[in-house]
C-alpha cells in the first residue's frame, strides 16, 4: 500500500495545471480498484485550502470532490493521532522537513506505509519513506 500527498490530489482536481493528467489518471486507477491507498486526513484539508485559496475554486465544489475521494472504497483515510504528531516532531527535527510533510510521513509510517505518491522532492529527505512521482515530464 502507498500513501498520497496533497499535491497529487490538487493536480488531479485542477485541470488547468500541467501536472493534471498523470495525477488524474492515477486517481482514476485507484477509484477503479487497481490499487488501495491511504491518505492522512491532513492531506484533504491541505487540498481544500490550496484549491479554494490559491486556485479560487468554489468551496462547495471542492468539498464535493474531496468527499467523493474520501468515500471511495479504495481509499483509506488515516486519522492524525497524538503519537503521529509526536513522531512528526522527530521526523522534522531529524530530516529538516516541514511540519505538514513530517506529519503526513509520520501518519503513513505509523500505519506501516513506506511509499508515497508525491511530486514534492522534500519527501526524498525522509529516508524512512520512498517517494514515487507519477508525473513524468
| CA–CA separation, 16 and 51 (whole Å) | 12
Domain spanning 2-132 has what CATH number? 3.40.50.1010
What pLDDT score was predicted for residue 129? 97
CA 124 to each of CA 62, 73, 82, 87, 92: distance values in angstroms, whole numbers, following the listed order: 29, 29, 24, 18, 13
How far, in Å, are 34, 42, 53 from residue 22 at the CA level? 15, 22, 23
Write down the pLDDT at residue 136: 79
Backbone angles phi, psi at 127, to 5 degrees: -70, -10
What 8-state DSSP symbol labels residue 112?
T
Residue 122: strand, helix, or coil: helix
Strand partners, 131: 116
Q: Of 5, 19, 1, give the one whose Cα is nearest residue 101.
A: 5
**Which residue stretches of the chain have pLDDT < 70?**
137
Instruction: Please tell me whether residue 85 adopts helix, strand or coil conformation.
Output: helix
- Its pTM stands at 0.95
pLDDT for 137 equals 57
Give me 66's grid cell: 474531496
Amino acid at each position: 500500500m502507498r500513501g498520497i500527498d496533497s499535491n497529487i490530489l490538487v493536480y488531479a482536481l485542477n485541470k488547468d495545471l500541467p501536472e493534471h493528467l498523470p495525477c488524474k489518471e492515477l486517481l482514476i486507477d485507484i477509484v477503479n480498484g487497481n490499487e488501495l491507498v491511504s491518505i492522512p486526513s491532513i492531506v484533504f484539508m491541505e487540498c481544500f485550502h490550496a484549491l479554494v485559496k490559491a486556485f479560487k475554486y468554489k468551496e462547495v465544489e471542492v468539498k464535493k470532490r474531496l468527499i467523493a475521494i474520501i468515500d471511495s472504497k479504495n481509499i483509506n483515510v488515516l486519522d492524525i493521532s497524538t503519537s503521529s504528531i509526536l513522531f512528526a516532531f522527530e521526523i522534522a527535527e531529524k530530516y529538516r522537513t516541514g511540519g505538514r510533510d513530517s506529519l503526513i510521513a509520520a501518519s503513513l509510517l505509523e500505519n506501516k506505509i513506506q511509499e508515497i505518491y508525491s511530486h514534492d522532492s522534500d519527501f526524498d529527505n525522509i529516508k524512512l519513506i520512498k517517494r514515487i512521482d507519477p508525473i513524468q515530464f
